[in-house]
Chains A and B, each alone.
Chain A
Amino acid sequence: MMLAALNLPYWAQTLFRVGAVLVVIPVGALVLVYFYLFKMVSYLQSRLGPMEAGPYGSLQPIAEFVKFIQKEDIFPTAVDRFVFGAAPFVILMSTFLVYVVIPAGPTAVIENLDTGIFFALAVSSLSVIGVLMAGWASANKYSLMGGLRAAGQLIAYELPLFLAVVGVVMQAGSLSLQRIVYAQATFKVFGYNSHGLPFVIPQVVGFGLFVISAQAELTQTPFDMPVAESELVAGYMTEYSGVRFLLFFMAEFATAFALAGIGATLFLGGWYFPGVFHIHPSWVRDVLGGGVLFAKLMVLAFVIFWVRFTFPRLREDQLQAFAWKILIPVALLNITVTGVLKVAFHG
């Protein structure tokens, strides 16, 4: 860990790490909101998007941020006040924990857990509790339906997400995200000695499954039945306003940022680029690595948002059928094939 070299006391390091994540979450969310929700979609839809605040409207996300903070934090009469108030924090917490294990450079990682990917996927599924809390505590029928739909969907799509990752883990031989990056840097395709290859090529099926499931985990079109604005108003977020709505909104985009980051780490080689280990001094590797990870992540996020703004949404039963009847069998097949090839070629 980079900070260990600075000889800081433990508490200061912890504080620094927590602070780093707390900065990355809003920054990541704002970046996605500006580039994709505001600008990219505007060009897709033959309009300009925000243009007034800052050059090309680049300060608009900050204006939105301030707007939400200024708004009244409304608690409707019938809500369960504690649960209603806590739900956005539960969701944000799960996002927060995902960031802990994503490596942005050889030493730039908050905590390099040995079970990194396992931890990331486990905590990302905590958000379903927050969604259920919000849906139930709002005492609103649209919220309730949205919350239940979201819970059903998140649980259904976690399975293919996990199973898609299993193929990568088998090829890398490790659950640690840092090790998965190194495995891609020195990759041997089933025994053939090459000079590094991102897992997107040998695990192309897994990559497809991962992107589709991530889309569903983020409840984005075509899997946005839980927040389908044309029928459920805003799903489980219907009753929220002001800063709590902002937290939901931020969590949604920060999670998109985090999942794109995990996808980039697992399939696109993470922070690694050829020649990174020849760069001195070593802290430059962390900075450049972060930039490379960001570039890969934005490519992946572009795909996610592109699909989001193009397709209509699937119906609840159709998306469940899609998860259970297509994605999960394909994922299991992918694992089997990967395992057989790995054993056969000692890769």
Chain B
Amino acid sequence: MAETEATPPTSSSPGWLARALDSDIWYSFCRSPLTIASAVLTLLFFLGAAFAPLIAPFNPFDLASIDIMDASLPPFWQDGGDGRFWLGTDDQGRDMWSTIIFGARVSLFVGFASVIFSIIMGVGLGLISGYVGGRLDALIMRIADIQLSFPAILIALLIDGVARSVLPRAMHEELAFYVLIFAIGISGWVQYARTVRGSTLVEKNKEYVQAARVIGIGPTVILLRHILPNVMGPVLVIATIHLAIAIITEATLSFLGVGVPPTTPSLGTLIRVGNDFLFSGEWWITIFPGIALVLLVLAINLLGDWLRDALNPKLR
């Protein structure tokens, strides 16, 4: 389903390409300018994240290239702005544009990793819950019910807080990324598990599964090779919208000072740091990373909305 990713299909097989271009989804994609715009924007963010060191004019983490004399310069269109730093500089003389590119990279990385973590955990538990049934199913779904009644951000915050107090300080600095991905990932598995469980309940009674069982294929293979591909459609939709939520959660945790370590700032960290300079008039240190974050999340949300409608046969 690569055509939904808005990237031009790259497969060498012409039949596959033709099929993708002929599909309903591609048609609905071409008909919605807003979706194309958000797809292009998302793609730009992905490319920016992937090639950050090549695109950014400065390396914000290279101390040699930072000059404290350049500190707190406004964007170029304001008085005192410098053409080299078109979005201005922060209090330590780092180029805002470069820090935003690197920050978006961190935000996207944490977002993606958390979503993948959630998918693996949620889809796995959903498959098992739906296929095995019985007490195990009841237990997993009860835990899901309970978790669902608490907001995700609170759960992520608690896991992060617990990790902070369990791990020694130095070790926590080192593991902060993994703790964060774990915390955000765990706070989002329930939706996947519920959806996949529902679809699995339907699929497991179909003939192809019974046939596979009759010829003696083990349950693990049935789940992974036969049922899994047939329950992944809705997962894709949830994952797109979840990516936006995960990025917001990461930004919020980093803004609260319990997210990524300050040495590798994400967009949320940048906003937190810039927030201190709001009152002294240096608004660009916090507003530009903020705009970047909103654009990123908005684009992904719009893509997710479109994908949900496009894959929903009732709305065609």
A and B part of one assembly: no
A residues near B, CB below 8 A? Answer: none
B residues near A, CB below 8 A? Answer: none
